[in-house]
Amino acid sequence: MVTRSAVLLVLGRVLIKAFLIALAVVVIYPLVWMLLNGVKSNSELFSNPFALPVAWKWDNYVTAWNRGVGDYLTTSVLVTVASTIATVFISAWAAYGLTRVNIPFNKAVLILILGGLMLAPTVALIPLVKMFQSLGLYNNLWALLILYTAFRVPFTTFLIRAYMMDLPAEVDEAASVDGASKARAFWQVILPMCKPILVSTVLLNILFTWNEYLFAMVFTSGGALQTLPVGLTNLMSKHGTDYPVVFAGMAIAAIPVIVLFFAGQRYFIRGLADGVGK
């Protein structure tokens, strides 16, 4: 005989699965819609934007690439990779020093670093422009690299530190007994053990840098220096916009991040759950 608790359990599972399916549709549908509208003609897009394409115009992606999306993609990859590597390793060193090494004024340094979380980038925009102009770094990719690294180090340090705090102290003692220096223990022992949280922070920093618009718009100008979020606005024209080409450019910008996230999602979830979740 089926009990009431068993029925409620089955009903609960069905409702949870239905909710997750609905959530997946809500998330995936806009991406599919964007991809499909990227292979339509302009008239077809405006006449029926929710229908399947009549003629699949894959040359829209070629047109978008030739109109500068290829250059914007190259710049975004360069800035994203460089700033992510710098941010993660600076943050990992800082987290290691705060959790595994006895340094003077440890708490004060921690408060100083985490205090950066309270800084609003938009509030500091005008002083930053003046400072980078005086340093000769305005309209330079070094400006974006420095800014993205500086504003992401506090949050990244917070995540990696939370993960390192749960690593057993015996690991450091064993490395010390084997004659390993602090630097060697960091590179060969601690960092490999922090792989999940490192992947998580890498993905988070990539998502931030790849989609960042304000700094990229203010501190760079010209096609060779513009990143994807800013460069895609150049596909818009005052005299008429080929919207399928714009959608194609947006799809080109979205696909690398989507693929990267799905490739690292296992470590992403594990890293956040084992670190901040404890």
Structure tokens at 95: 């987290």
Of the pLDDT bands very low, low, confident and very high (cuts 50, 70, 90), residue 270 is low
The average confidence (pLDDT) of the chain is 83
Q: What is the pLDDT of residue 89?
A: 92
Give the pLDDT mean for 16-34: 87
Q: What is the separation, in whole angstroms, between the first and last Cα of the chain?
A: 41
Closest CA to 154 of 121, 194, 125: 121
Q: Which of 4-8, 53-57, 86-90 has the lowest mean pLDDT?
A: 4-8
Q: What is the pLDDT of residue 206?
A: 92
Q: What is the pLDDT of residue 277?
A: 46
Give the pLDDT mean for 48-69: 86
Domain ranges for the chain: 68-275
pLDDT digits (tens, 9 = 90+) for 112-122: 877 777 777 78
pLDDT digits (tens, 9 = 90+) for 226-257: 888 888 887 776 545 788 888 899 888 888 88
- Indicate the DSSP class of residue 115: G
State the residue for tokens 């501190």: 219
pLDDT digits (tens, 9 = 90+) for 160-205: 888 888 888 788 778 777 777 777 888 888 888 888 889 889 999 9
Distance from C-alpha of 148 to C-alpha of 86, rounded to nearest angstrom = 10
- The three-state secondary structure class of 245 is helix
Q: What are phi and psi of 29, to 5 degrees?
A: -55, -45
Q: What is the pLDDT of residue 239?
A: 44
Of the pLDDT bands very low, low, confident and very high (cuts 50, 70, 90), residue 51 is confident
Does the pLDDT at position 33 exceed 50? yes
For domain 68-275, the question of CATH label 1.10.3720.10 is answered with: yes
- What stretches of 101-124 show up as alpha helix (H) in DSSP? 106-114
- Helices 243-275 and 70-100, interaxial angle, to 10°? 10
3-state secondary structure the chain: CCCHHHHHHHHHHHHHHHHHHHHHHHHHHHHHHHHHHCCCCHHHHHHCCCCCCCCCCCHHHHHHHHHHHHHHHHHHHHHHHHHHHHHHHHHHHHHHHHHHCCCCCHHHHHHHHHHHHHCCCCCCHHHHHHHHHHHCCCCCHHHHHHHHHHHHHHHHHHHHHHHHCCCCHHHHHHHHHCCCCHHHHHHHHHHHHCHHHHHHHHHHHHHHHHHCCHHHHHHCCCCCCCCHHHHHHHHCCCCCCCHHHHHHHHHHHHHHHHHHHHHHHHHHHHHHHHHCCC
Distance from C-alpha of 178 to C-alpha of 172, rounded to nearest angstrom = 10
Does the pLDDT at position 22 exceed 50? yes
Which amino acid would we find at residue 119? L
Structure tokens at 257: 């991040």
Give the pLDDT mean for 58-63: 89
pLDDT digits (tens, 9 = 90+) for 73-105: 999 999 999 999 999 999 999 888 888 777 777
Q: Residues of the chain with pLDDT > 70: what percent?
A: 92
Q: Is 219 exposed, middle or buried (0-12, 13-18, 19+ CB in 10 A)?
A: buried
